Chains A and B, each alone.
Chain A
Amino acid sequence: MNGLTSTDTASRASACPERLRSLLERGLPLTERPWLTLAEQCGMSEGEVLAWVERWQREGLIKRLGLVVRHHALGMRANAMVVWDLPDDSVAEVGRQLAAEPAVTLCYRRPRRLPVWPYNLFCMIHGARRERVLEALDAIVGRHGLQHIPHRVLFSLKAYKQCGGRYAREDQP
């Protein structure tokens, strides 16, 4: 009986952080004590919730904590994914250079999928208008000597869906 009780307690305790993460992916409740509301929903104290979030920030699971802006709703209509076909031995160096550019918001290396997809570096440039994004790209190409690197600009024409990621297992149907 004691054994059962302690197993039960242990499994509930380990489920708590997962439940908290799942709730956090939907955003904070906009109330005076948001962490307390979350704490009540996942069976923790407010202090425990704050400690978990602090720990996830320190460990890098949480990249940032704050207002998540939908750029399109603000009028940032131009959103370009720029893809580059770089030699394998320079992709990391160029990736770091592009990531340091203020206009570049995301920069990832991804595998080529030949023959249909030769590009191995992806970066995002957001702007109020298409011309401003292309100007920013021209400047970047010039600064880093990328004139001879094959690249394509894929502007977005429509967002069919735009929302935060849902990873926690509890959210899965």
Chain B
Amino acid sequence: MAALDSLDRRLIDAFQRELPLCERPFAAMAERLGASEAQVIERLQRLQHDQVLSRVGPVFDHARAGASLLAAVAVPEAERDRVAAAINRSPGVNHNYLREHDFNLWFVMTAADEQQLEARLEALEEELGYAVLRLPMVAAYHIDLGFPIPWDELETP
């Protein structure tokens, strides 16, 4: 893990949500943290470069922002990396994880609308030669507030 100092951690703790919506958001954040605007920008650039942050910006509501669903494929171990690479190349795929189950490859497929989504899934099934389990969201029960980082647990391996 990249070494994060106190300013990095306070940035992450304070601004997973409610980034100030104003012309100079990083100056407003800096003021709250007792840092300079240049420092905040430099930290965010470094955290993004080190892939601690995937980005700074909005998280869109999947259900409203277009069509998406969770999908899974059951693939023999010998085929796994090849199939995972094919899934990664498929348009609209964002997450793709190996998990402990017969259905071992889990990915999220997105598209502009339902019709495009189904077309992409069918094209992928044809390419892979495996059936894709389609698990669209029926209801969401959580509110996305970002996630409190347990810094202490991370420091004592």
Contact = CB atoms under 8 A, between A and B. Distances in A.
Contacts of A25: 57-58, 60
B141 A61 contact: no
Contacts of B41: 30-32
Nearest to A53: B21
B96 A159 contact: yes
A95 B141 contact: yes
Contacts of A75: 1, 154
Contacts of A67: 11-12, 15-16, 19, 44, 47, 53, 56, 146
Q: Which of A152, A155, A161, A169 has the most CB of B within 10 A?
A: A161
B54 A164 contact: yes
Contacts of B47: 67
B37 A156 contact: no
B19 A69 contact: no
A26 B150 CA distance: 27
Interface string A99-133: 10010111111110100110000100011110010
Interface in B77-113: 84-85, 87-88, 91-101, 103, 105-108, 110-112
Contacts of A96: 141
B65 interface: yes
Classify chain B's interface size: 35 or more
A155 B150 CA distance: 19
A24 B50 CA distance: 20
A68 B24 CA distance: 19
B100 A32 contact: no
A128 to B, nearest CB: 4
Interface in B14-36: 15-19, 21-27
A63 B60 contact: yes
A173 interface: yes
A5 interface: no
Contacts of B100: 153-155, 157
B128 interface: no
Interface string A50-79: 100110110011111111111101111001
Query: Which 8 A-B pairs rank lowest in CB-CB distance, beginning with the nearest?
Result: A27-B55, A167-B66, A99-B141, A95-B141, A161-B96, A128-B153, A99-B142, A158-B98
7 contacts: A32-B26, A32-B27, A61-B61, A62-B61, A64-B58, A65-B57, A164-B59
